Amino acid sequence: MKHIISIRDLDRPFIDELINHANHIASQHFNANSLSDKILALLFFEPSTRTRMSFEAAMARLGGTSISVGSIEASSMAKGETLADTIRVVSGYADAIVLRHPKEGAARLASEFASVPVINAGDGAGQHPSQTLLDLYTIQQSLPLDGIDVGMIGDLRYGRTAHSLAYALSLYRSRIHVISPKGLELPSALIGELRERGTEVIEHEYVEDIIKELDVLYVTRIQRERFPDSASYFDVSSSYKITTELLEGVRSHLIVLHPLPRVDEIEPEVDDLPYARYFEQSRNGVPVRMAMLQEVLK
Amino acid sequence: MTRPVPPPQGLLINPIKNGTVIDHITSGEALNVLKIIGITGTTTESVSVATNVSSGKIGKKDIVKIENRELRKEEMDRIALIAPRVSINIIRDFKVYAKGGVERPKFLLGVVRCPNPGCITNAHEPVSSRFEVLPNGLHCMYCDWLITNDITGHMI
């Protein structure tokens, strides 16, 4: 039984094959009834728009059915049931479980109690492997994944997408350039680990210092809930913004990615530039998640 | 005037008849070793502790002698987390019955509490903490947290 819990569990051949599979799906090479006898349980203990809808869309495109808890407040979880029990119960209703939970490690725990495959759709500040896979998928649509220069800007301390992507890129010998406001730097333990794995991680104070040498710019949102008050949030959140002026003179093949939702890290005028790929990235969630569902349900 | 009596030479703690002698503990870690093996102010074992004793092997060392208790293998291996060079002698009738070093365990199950308050192992769930022992620290196998210092402080 195959679970997809953390990008750390996946090796390069698996990721490459999954990306290839998603490429096939995107070019309409898939059986629209391949999961017609399967039921997917969506257990979302935290709000989600894109991840939840794209998993539902992915399941529907493959002919499968999705079931979900209407609202957590009205469920047995609100009555104090453990996640372990919920997972054991739901395993009896569905052929696979997609889980989003506020606690880190929740999906790992779920995989230990489930009798069906579990896909992690985000656990607290921890892992979100389907996002990382679709990030890699979007990059490889334009560029090779090997040996590129990837800039990451924003909240690199708490942003789980940045952690997972940095880790995944270390499988591809890419150089990682990190630019973040003070206090929101990539955790030093992770930087150490990436360097130990042979990845070059270069810290920059200003994005202008490096933007012309980048192949990919990965922008993340500053999470408001991490700040004690609005003033300190606005101080930090206004410290960087991707604008059309900033992008003047960059490499012609640069792609700008963002896991969305954005607040004002990227000004709307950038959307019309050829570099902007974040909406395409979001759309790519469907073929990548279709490939993941076929992988765990095959 | 009388000639001053020279101070006694050698260790100031007596040999034990039965029990365990933990030798070559990293200097200053003796009390943490006791904590790891669950010896507190409320337990009944007779324990002798020597700290900062000269050692040809490691410069300064600590020694712990516990009477009438033989350490189990998993207790010995836990000690390796903070004092990898200890040697442990099991004593029976004043003689060394068994002697050996310790091995750092590869995994720790229910030994250390994850310091990450957001970790699922700190929620009300029927699981024990699980850590992988790496050269640079302890890695939580649920939330990926890395404990790099004060391992004893996180022990359950």
The reply to whether A118 and A220 lie within a common domain is no
The reply to whether A37 and A139 lie within a common domain is no
d(CA A30, CA A35): 11
Please indicate if any CB of chain A lies within 8 Å of the CB of B141: yes
Q: Which of A217, A215, A204, A61 is nearest to A152 (CA)?
A: A217
Minimum distance, in Å, between the CA of residue A253 and any CA atom of chain B: 35
Q: What is the count of structural domains for chain A?
A: 2
Structure confidence at residue B11 as a pLDDT band (50, 70, 90)? low
Phi, psi at residue A224, to the nearest 5°?
-55, -35
Q: Number of Cβ pairs closer than 8 Å across A and B?
A: 55
Domain annotation covers residue A15: yes
Closest by Cβ to B142, choosing from A80, A105, A192 = A105
Instruction: Decide if B19-100 and B107-154 have a common fold.
Output: no
The reply to whether A110 and A180 lie within a common domain is no
d(CA A50, CA A269): 23
The reply to whether A85 and A145 lie within a common domain is no
Which has the minimum average pLDDT: A67-71, A111-115, A152-156, A273-277?
A67-71
The reply to whether A137 and A121 lie within a common domain is no
d(CA A169, CA A166): 5
Structure confidence at residue B75 as a pLDDT band (50, 70, 90)? confident
Minimum distance, in Å, between the CA of residue B137 and any CA atom of chain A: 10
Q: What does the pLDDT look like over A221-258, one tens digit per residue?
A: 887 766 777 777 777 877 889 999 999 999 999 999 99
Closest by Cβ to A105, choosing from B124, B126, B143 = B143
Helix (H, G, I), strand (E, B) or coil at A17: helix
The reply to whether A250 and A266 lie within a common domain is yes
CB contact under 8 A, A126 and B127: no
| Structure-model confidence comparison of residues A57 and B13, the more confident one | A57
Domain annotation covers residue A1: no
Q: What does the pLDDT look like over B25-57, one tens digit per residue?
A: 988 889 989 988 888 878 788 899 999 988 777
Q: What is residue A16's predicted lDDT score, i.e. its pLDDT?
A: 97
* Chain A positions touching chain B (beta carbons under 8 Å): 6, 8, 80, 82-84, 101-106, 108-109, 112, 123-127, 189, 192
The reply to whether A104 and A142 lie within a common domain is no
Q: Which residues contact A116 (CB under 8 A, 6 or more apart)?
A: A1, A91, A94, A95, A96, A97
CB contact under 8 A, A125 and B119: no
Domain annotation covers residue A18: yes
Structure confidence at residue B12 as a pLDDT band (50, 70, 90)? low
| Structure-model confidence comparison of residues A179 and B136, the more confident one | A179
Domain annotation covers residue A208: yes
Please give the single-letter amino acid code of residue A160. Answer: R
Closest by Cβ to A103, choosing from B120, B126, B146 = B120
**CATH class of the structural domain B19-100:** alpha beta
The reply to whether A91 and A208 lie within a common domain is no
Domain annotation covers residue A2: no
Structure confidence at residue B13 as a pLDDT band (50, 70, 90)? confident
User: What is the DSSP code (8-state) at residue A221?
Assistant: P
Please indicate if any CB of chain A lies within 8 Å of the CB of B14: no
**CATH class of the structural domain B107-154:** mainly beta
Mean pLDDT of the A179-208 span = 92
Whole-number mean pLDDT of chain B? 87
Q: Which of B19, B155, B84 is nearest to B76 (CA)?
A: B84
The reply to whether A136 and A196 lie within a common domain is yes
Can you give the CATH number for the domain in which A56 is found?
3.40.50.1370
CB contact under 8 A, B142 and A104: yes
DSSP output for chain B: --PPPPPPPS-SS---SSEEEEEEEETT-HHHHHHHTT--TT----EEEEEEEEETTTEEEEEEEEET-PPPHHHHHHHTTT-TT-EEEEEETTEEEEEE-----SEEESSB--S-TTBGGGSS-S---EEEEETTEEEETTT--EE-S-TGGGB-
Determine whether A211 is exposed, middle or buried from the number of CB atoms within 10 Å of its CB (0-12, 13-18, 19+). buried
Asked if A255 contacts A140 with a C-beta cutoff of 8 angstroms, the reply is no
The reply to whether A265 and A135 lie within a common domain is yes
Helix (H, G, I), strand (E, B) or coil at A177: strand
* Sequence ranges of the domains in chain B: 19-100, 107-154
The reply to whether A101 and A142 lie within a common domain is no
Q: What percent of chain A has pLDDT over 90?
A: 78
ipTM of the complex: 0.87
Q: Which residues contact A81 (CB under 8 A, 6 or more apart)?
A: none
Q: Which of A62, A50, A127, A35 is nearest to A283 (CA)?
A: A50
Q: Which residues contact A15 (CB under 8 A, 6 or more apart)?
A: A133, A136, A168, A171
User: What is the DSSP code (8-state) at residue A185?
Assistant: P
Q: What does the pLDDT look like over A30-59, one tens digit per residue?
A: 999 999 999 999 999 988 889 999 999 999
Domain of A108, in residue numbers: 7-127+285-297
CB contact under 8 A, B120 and A106: yes
Asked if B61 contacts B22 with a C-beta cutoff of 8 angstroms, the reply is no
For chain B, what's the residue count? 156
The reply to whether A114 and A44 lie within a common domain is yes
